[in-house]
Amino acid sequence: MVEAIAYRYRTGIAWRDLPREPFGAWQTAWKRHRRYAADGTWDRVLARLLAEADAAGQVDWAVSVDATIARAHQHATNTTRPDQDTGGPDRITGICRSSDVNLQVMASGGHAVG
């Protein structure tokens, strides 16, 4: 079962696509994986493997921090522009697009009121 679970993660396939010939029913591997994840078995296995690899000097604990910022275009967001439900300010720019506020701004000579 462990080999079936490792194969699934190594190849990136869906559980249903797990080859039946070498591994058996995909449901069995999925249930075992889910059970091991829930009861902490995978956490214990990882801790043990890391401890043994570290004791053998096979782990390099150097940490690399990257502060690169990749900005997305404004149209790449998944939000809607104006807040149609409340007539409140736009969620992205903070500008209120309500006709009541626009009338108040025009009445004050171009400056926001209140």
Per-domain residue ranges for the chain?
A: 2-55, 78-107
Could you give the 3-state DSSP secondary structure of residue 29?
Answer: helix
Q: Name the residue among 47, 70, 50 with its Cα closest to residue 60.
A: 50
d(Cα 29, Cα 5) in Å, to the nearest integer? 6
What does the pLDDT profile of the chain (114 residues) look like in tens digits?
999 999 999 999 999 999 999 999 999 999 999 999 999 999 999 999 999 999 999 988 888 887 787 777 777 766 665 555 555 555 555 555 554 444 444 444 545 444
d(Cα 98, Cα 102) in Å, to the nearest integer? 6
d(Cα 18, Cα 36) in Å, to the nearest integer? 18
Q: Name the residue among 89, 95, 94, 113 with its Cα closest to residue 103.
A: 113
d(Cα 74, Cα 78) in Å, to the nearest integer? 10
